[in-house]
């Protein structure tokens, strides 16, 4: 399985949570790039265009040039800017919605300039919190129309939606693999895809391997992947494989089976760990798990799947884990 690793640049720095602004010191953009560069297996970065990064575009360009790292994706900040507190692409305020569209187009331009093919939208503020407080049809229609405009702006760049069940809103409009595919089918743009976040899928009680298969079935829409881990009740963004080890084996097998060619991006929030070291450990886990999958007999795996037998599946998993 040929994979390309990337990481959200801020994940190797210090992260904030709901209670503490950061448990470690602030790192400069240059330091973040140096920390990523020190992890041998990671050859690219993903960047969220928050105000801090938008204000330092030339610095980012220079760091990419000096480091030799590629740019895997550019993410639009539709979640941290307080202007989007009641929605971005689904906002009923035309000025707010236009701001979100313009920010996305800026990200598309920057991505194309840097030779990057993926722009990601995680519309975390697009949704609702209370009953009788949202027009579900109107706001979903506004979102769909806005997304179509962004996709049609430059068809050389793939615009991916990253779905999540909830947070920061209690209910997200882009919530599951199914609802996301429905929207992508509705807009009818070939350059629209899905960014599957492993932890978001688990949070939504999806089996990530099945989510991969569904994306393949309905338009081959899987274009980018974020990986992390959690306990299934919150988006904990922990070290890869530290919780859902066996689930990861099936997930990786289905990526291989469906011939996924994109980046695998580490998307973690190592609050109390050193960010660089936590990401490096995730990379070690990912390489180990991929080796287990690659070493396994694909014909045997397919035979076991065809039996539908939980006993045979259990035996297969133990055998895969002994193969290292």
Distances (CA, A) of 145 to 37, 85, 195, 277: 39, 20, 19, 42
**What's residue 222's pLDDT?**
98
The pLDDT, as a whole number, for residue 131 is 98
> What local confidence, expressed as pLDDT, does residue 18 receive?
81
100 closest CA partner among 150, 139, 138, 154: 150
Partners of residue 73 on adjacent β-strands = 46
Give which of 140, 234, 243, 122 is closest to 182, Cα–Cα. 140
171-172 vs 127-128, strand pairing mode? antiparallel
DSSP 83: G
Q: Is the dihedral of CA 297, 300, 304, 306 positive or negative?
A: positive
Residues of the chain with pLDDT under 70: 324
Q: pLDDT value at position 1?
A: 87
Q: Where are the domains of the chain?
A: 4-298
3-class state of residue 171 by DSSP: strand
Dihedral sign, CA of 261, 72, 236, 177?
Answer: negative
User: How buried is residue 74: exposed, middle or buried, by Cβ count under 10 Å (0-12/13-18/19+)?
Assistant: buried
Residue for token pair 């988006």:
235
| Cβ-based burial of 62 (10 A; exposed 0-12, middle 13-18, buried ≥19) | middle
Rounded CA-CA distance 275/270 in Å is 5
Domain 4-298, CATH number (from 1.20.1250.20, 3.20.20.150, 3.40.50.150, 3.30.1520.10): 3.20.20.150
CA distance 216 to 61: 34
Q: What is the pLDDT of residue 22?
A: 87
**Cβ contacts of 108 within 8 Å, gap of 6 or more:** 74, 119, 150, 153, 154, 157, 159
What are the structure tokens assigned to 18, written together? Answer: 């709901």
């Amino acid at each position: 399985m040929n994979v390309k690793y990337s990481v959200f640049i801020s994940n190797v720095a210090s992260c904030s949570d709901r209670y503490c602004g950061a448990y470690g010191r602030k790192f400069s953009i240059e330091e973040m790039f140096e920390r990523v560069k020190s992890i041998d297996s990671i050859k690219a970065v993903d960047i969220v265009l928050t105000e801090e990064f938008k204000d330092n575009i030339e610095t980012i360009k220079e760091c990419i040039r000096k480091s030799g790292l590629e740019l895997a994706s550019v993410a639009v900040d539709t979640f941290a800017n307080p202007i989007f507190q009641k929605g971005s692409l689904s906002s009923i305020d035309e000025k707010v919605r236009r701001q979100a569209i313009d920010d996305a187009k800026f990200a598309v331009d920057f991505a194309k300039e840097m030779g990057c093919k993926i722009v990601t939208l995680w519309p975390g503020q697009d949704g609702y919190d209370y009953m009788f407080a949202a027009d579900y049809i109107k706001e979903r229609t506004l979102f769909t129309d806005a997304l179509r405009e962004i996709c049609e702006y430059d068809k050389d760049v793939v615009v991916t939606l990253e779905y999540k069940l909830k947070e920061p809103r209690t209910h997200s409009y882009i919530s599951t693999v199914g609802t996301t595919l429905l929207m992508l089918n509705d807009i009818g743009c070939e350059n629209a895809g899905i960014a599957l976040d492993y932890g978001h899928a688990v949070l939504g009680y999806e089996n990530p391997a099945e989510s991969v298969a569904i994306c393949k079935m309905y338009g081959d829409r899987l274009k980018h992947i974020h990986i992390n881990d959690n306990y299934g009740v919150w988006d904990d963004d922990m070290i890869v494989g530290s919780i859902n080890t066996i689930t990861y084996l099936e997930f990786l097998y289905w990526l291989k089976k469906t011939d996924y060619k994109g980046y695998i991006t580490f998307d973690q929030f190592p609050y109390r760990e050193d960010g660089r070291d936590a990401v490096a450990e995730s990379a070690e886990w990912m390489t180990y798990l991929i080796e287990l999958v690659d070493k396994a007999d694909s014909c045997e795996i397919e035979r076991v799947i065809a039996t539908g037998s939980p006993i045979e599946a259990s035996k297969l998993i133990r055998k895969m884990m002994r193969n290292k």
